[in-house]
Amino acid sequence: MTPYPITTLRRENQTLVLENVGLKKLAADYGTPLYVYSKAALSEAWQAWQVPADRPIHICYAVKANSNIAILNFFARQGAFFDTVSQGEIARVLAAGAPAHRVVFSGVAKSVKEIEFALNEGIHCFNVESLAELDRLHAVATRLGKRAPISLRINPDVDAKTHPYISTGLKENKFGIDHTEALAAYQYAASLSGLNIIGIDYHIGSQLTSLTPYLDAQNRLFGLVKQLAEHGITLEHIDLGGGLGVRYRDEVPPTAASLVEQALNGLREAGFNHALMFEPGRSLVANAGLMLTEVEYLKPTQHKNFAIVDAGMNDLIRPALYEAWMQVVNIDEHDASAVAAQHYDVVGPVCESTDWLAKDRELAVQAGDVLAVLSAGAYCMTMASNYNSRQRPAELLVDGSTVHVIRERDTLASLWADERIPE
Ligand SMILES: *Cc1c(COP(=O)(O)O)cnc(C)c1O
């Protein structure tokens, strides 16, 4: 196994280099904490999903994983579709230069305002999560003199065998329409003139490291598609969601190509000619990014050693939120004779005990060193906040030897720019 899950990262003369750019210089030039993404790694992740097929396969990038408009623009240029969960995400996709007809709109709580916006822009499909949402979509579309293209998100009741907080396809989850009620829901949708049924979808969870739950869910979904056809309800596309896992530590997730092939085989066996869709987020961006953070202090105590860094849970919340393990490496290697490796908890400046990035890691580190938190391209910057009135990090996109600033660090004034003191 390569030492780093980011394929465009390597060590050269004891220092870390991403594509052709030294990380030490980036930290010095742009400050820390800092997000850095690799365009070549994004490209590699996108290519992994490209499988020749006898039908259209639309890869809908799940915007919530990393919604910077430069990242969205990159995927738009590759021909991606986009999976969105709010008006804000749809607006971002449009601002990034992608056409509305490549947008699907998921989420359990779509408001009237969001539905109006999406209908007026002319999105590809609403992935509907409940009967009440069908009624609302029908009402809004009818009022606007439009028909809403829809797919029903089916809850297939399969265990994705991932962390419970990121499992979404079990019957006790809030997502989707129970598979046992799907036929009735489609029949109801077919009775509403403001709706145009075009697809079926599911999304069973995130960071899946096995093909088995996908196969179980796929079999259940294909059975439903057959049943619907018998009742005269035909579909244009089948959307098998996102959730493909990545390597953070030693996971060995299936390849995107094997997932696509499994779906294509299933479609052919069933004699289906539907277009195929997927909604990957994490697998397209997680291992195209890292976060740099400087060690402010070393704090040895009687119980353990702390490396206190300048990035906190507000900058990168995955460890605090679901005890995620992310690889932490010193960007400069010390000679073993100069700095001895010890076990550290890597913790941040935020006033919460959950404010940690890594626990019990062996590191040879000194104050002033810059650490890289790897696999930080997905669900990191998009979850960043200003808690403790901290300025959210800048973001860079490295392309060979070129460095693009794709987001400026928050300024101090921006922290309260939208606030007002009453007269
Ligand atoms: C979050 C989400 C995705 C993407 O999940 P990943 O694990 O990042 O691939 C896809 N579809 C829906 C509906 C989602 O909510």
Which residues, 6+ apart, have CB-to-CB distance to 75 below 8 Å?
42, 46, 61, 82, 98, 284
Please name the residue that has the structure tokens 């490496």.
329
Secondary-structure class of domain 9-38+286-415 per CATH:
mainly beta
**How far is the centre of ligand 1, averaged over its atoms, from the C-alpha of 282 (Å)?**
8
Atom of ligand 1 nearest to the CA of 378: 8
Please name the residue that has the structure tokens 């780093």.
4
- Is 280 near ligand 1, meaning CB less than 6 Å away? yes
Say if residue 33 is preceded by a cis peptide, omega within 30 of 0. yes
pLDDT in tens, 130-148: 999 999 999 999 999 999 9
Q: Is the pLDDT of residue 227 over 60?
A: yes
Q: Which residues are catalytic?
A: 351
Ligand 1 pocket test, pick from 81, 155, 173, 203 with the greatest ligand atom count within 8 Å of Cβ, gives: 203
Q: What percent of the chain has pLDDT over 90?
A: 93
The CA distance from 281 to 61, in Å, is: 6
Q: How far is CA 386 from CA 1, 89, 316, 368, 393, in A?
A: 37, 20, 11, 24, 10
- pLDDT of amino acid 174: 77
Mean pLDDT of 230-254: 97
State the DSSP code for 300.
E
Q: Is the pLDDT of residue 1 over 60?
A: no
**How far is the centre of ligand 1, averaged over its atoms, from the C-alpha of 354 (Å)?**
25
State the DSSP code for 230.
H
- Is 206 near ligand 1, meaning CB less than 6 Å away? yes
- Is 160 near ligand 1, meaning CB less than 6 Å away? no
CA angle 243, 246, 260 (to 5 degrees): 55
4-13, 101-110, 172-181, 219-228: least confident range: 172-181
Q: Is the pLDDT of residue 400 over 80?
A: yes
- pLDDT of amino acid 163: 66
Atom of ligand 1 nearest to the CA of 244: 9
348 belongs to an annotated ligand binding site? no
Tell which residue, 396, 389, 392, 370, has the closest CA to residue 381.
392
pLDDT in tens, 148-175: 999 999 999 887 776 666 667 667 777 8
Please name the residue that has the structure tokens 């999304």.
203
- pLDDT of amino acid 82: 98
**How far is the centre of ligand 1, averaged over its atoms, from the C-alpha of 202 (Å)?**
10
- pLDDT of amino acid 166: 63
Amino acid, res. 75: F
Average pLDDT, the chain: 96
309 pLDDT band, cuts 50/70/90, is very high
Q: Is 131 exposed, middle or buried (0-12, 13-18, 19+ CB in 10 A)?
A: middle
Q: Is the pLDDT of residue 187 over 70?
A: yes
**Structural domain boundaries of the chain?**
9-38+286-415, 50-279
DSSP-based three-state secondary structure for 420: coil
- pLDDT of amino acid 173: 76
- pLDDT of amino acid 271: 97
Amino acid, res. 253: P
Q: What percent of the chain has pLDDT over 70?
A: 97
74-88, 102-116, 146-160: least confident range: 146-160
Mean pLDDT of 309-332: 97
Please name the residue that has the structure tokens 């599911």.
202
- Give the DSSP letter string of 111-178: -HHHHHHHHHHT-SEEEE--HHHHHHHHHHHHHHT--EEEEEEEE------S-GGGB--STTSSSSEE
Tokens found for residue 347: 């913790």
Domain at 50-279, CATH homologous superfamily: Alanine racemase (3.20.20.10)
Which residues, 6+ apart, have CB-to-CB distance to 184 below 8 Å?
none
- pLDDT of amino acid 422: 98
359 pLDDT band, cuts 50/70/90, is very high
- Is 83 near ligand 1, meaning CB less than 6 Å away? yes
Q: How far is CA 356 from CA 249, 317, 323, in A?
A: 17, 9, 9
Tokens found for residue 288: 């195209």
- Is 243 near ligand 1, meaning CB less than 6 Å away? yes
The whole-model pTM stands at 0.96
pLDDT in tens, 188-215: 999 999 999 999 999 999 999 999 999 9
